Amino acid sequence: MAATTRQAGAAMAANGVWAHDVTTSGAKVESLAWLTDDLVIVPKPFRRVADHIRLFGPSLACLPACPAGGADEFFVAGQGDSVVGLQHVVEVTNGPFRMTRPIEDLVFVEK
């Protein structure tokens, strides 16, 4: 099902707002204004990165630990058990951050 979702999303993304999505390709966030005005990121990680910047400033060095505080529970396509904390699918490498799995592979448990 994830492959079908990705294929449908790719067809829509080419022409829509998601054509500029940098969630999985990676982005360096220089400020809250940069995040809100210049980057296109899917909503869940956007909120976690925005919260992190508000609390700790624009350095994303400890970002992978910050989403753990959000306690977002989700399932990853192909895995049976749920996972808690976006730190399992977010990485920061020399400044830029990215999600290591496409959002289509994640199903969030709403609280």
What is the SS3 string spanning 83-100?
Answer: EECHHHCEEECCCCEEEC
pLDDT of 107 higher than 90:
yes
CA 106 to CA 36: how far, in whole Å? 23
Q: Categorize the per-residue pLDDT at 101 as very low, low, confident or very high, splitting at 50, 70 and 90.
A: very high
pLDDT of residue 109: 93
From 31-35, 37-41, 67-71, 93-97, the region with the lowest mean pLDDT: 67-71
pLDDT of residue 26: 92
pLDDT digits (tens, 9 = 90+) for 84-100: 988 889 888 887 889 99
pLDDT digits (tens, 9 = 90+) for 48-65: 889 888 888 888 877 777
pLDDT of residue 74: 93
